[in-house]
Amino acid sequence: MAKSKTASEVTRFAPSPTGYLHIGHAFSALTAYHARGKGGSFHLRIEDIDPVRCKDEFTDAILEDLKWLGLEWETPVRKQSDHMADYEKALQKLTLKGLLYPCFCTRTEIKAEIVKSGHAPHGPDGPAYPGICRNLSDEKREDRMDDGEAYVRRIDMKGATAIAGPLGWKDLGMGMNKAQPEKFGDVVLARKDVPTSYHLAVTVDDHLQGVTLVTRGADLAPSTDIHRLLQGLLSYTPPAYHHHRLIKDTTGRRLAKRDQDMSIRALRESGYTPEEVVAMSGFEG
Ligand code: GLU
């Protein structure tokens, strides 16, 4: 179901500054930019919650490369690392509903428990969390926190889906999809090192930026089930989605940031024009 070209939408491109953008990103950014339609708006969001992998030099390069391609966006650019208070507010709402719990497990403990139980359900992101910390008493939780043990905050998926009820989301290409967040188990919404997560930050930001149409790669379609659940729990109006095809290299492999010869920057330095790079990305408008 194609949307009318005259529809006006609020769209966004939300790269993580962990490397230079390649032509797959150009395709994704152009898809979002053109989907805004007449009278719509386009936002650029820098998803830089990971302090180890994200670098300011890549943020600068993203802005420069997108400008070179001819894109213009609303200002200010939203940098997720500047908005931790917004994510905490959402976490507090979920806490008040009794849907978050602290989890003190290390990766090794989780792995060992999965091996021991021998039957961990497998979600789209790997084995689901086996629930070790789900039923700790309040007293035990407080003791461990008081002892300064690091913890993540996980969603109690069973409780959350019971409260939210059945949910679905609309994709412009795939039509209506039933949300099945339970497949992921008790996902982490706030990490040990940063008090948010991809799933939480993206949901809060799309809401706060008034995004009406989320365009992003098809690899992220499964995550939309979690985002839809969070929208339900936080009383956000859900946007529509367009999960677009992924751009592959000549061998059929999906492009990654390590494929530096396909970076916008490298192509530009070797003399390609913006129009040529747009054409190479496969974007047809
Ligand atoms: N930051 C994500 C990435 O670079 C994209 C997130 C999204 O579009 O929802 O892959």
216 Cα nearest atom in ligand 1? 8
Contact 203, 190 (CB under 8 A): no
What per-residue confidence (pLDDT) applies to 1? 46
Among 77, 84, 93, CA closest to 209: 77
Q: Is the CB of 220 under 6 A from ligand 1?
A: yes
Phi and psi (nearest 5°) for 193? -90, -25
Q: Is the CB of 15 under 6 A from ligand 1?
A: yes
> What fold, for 83-209+220-236?
Rossmann fold (3.40.50)
Q: Calculate what percentage of the chain has a pLDDT beyond 70.
A: 98
> Closest residue (by CA) to atom 10 of ligand 1?
15
Mind listing the pLDDT tens digit for each residue in 118-146?
877 888 989 999 999 999 999 999 999 99
Q: Mean pLDDT throughout 184-198? A: 97
**7-82+247-285 with 83-209+220-236: one CATH topology?**
yes
Q: Mean pLDDT throughout 88-95? A: 98
3 has a pLDDT exceeding 60: no
Q: Calculate what percentage of the chain has a pLDDT beyond 90.
A: 88
Distance CA 16, CA 49 (A): 9
Q: Is the pTM of this model over 0.85?
A: yes
Rg (CA), the chain: 20
Phi-psi region of 97 (alpha: psi -120 to 50; beta: other; left: phi over 0): alpha
Q: Mean pLDDT throughout 155-174? A: 98
219 Cα nearest atom in ligand 1? 10
Q: Residue ranges of the domains in the chain? A: 7-82+247-285, 83-209+220-236
- CATH placement of domain 7-82+247-285: 3.40.50.620
Q: Mean pLDDT throughout 1-29? A: 87
Confidence at 83, pLDDT banded by 50, 70, 90: very high
- Residues whose CB falls within 8 Å of the CB of residue 81, separated by 6 or more in sequence, listed in order: 48, 49, 51, 54
What per-residue confidence (pLDDT) applies to 5? 53
Confidence at 6, pLDDT banded by 50, 70, 90: low
Query: Mean pLDDT in the chain?
Result: 95
Residue 151: both structure tokens together: 């913890």
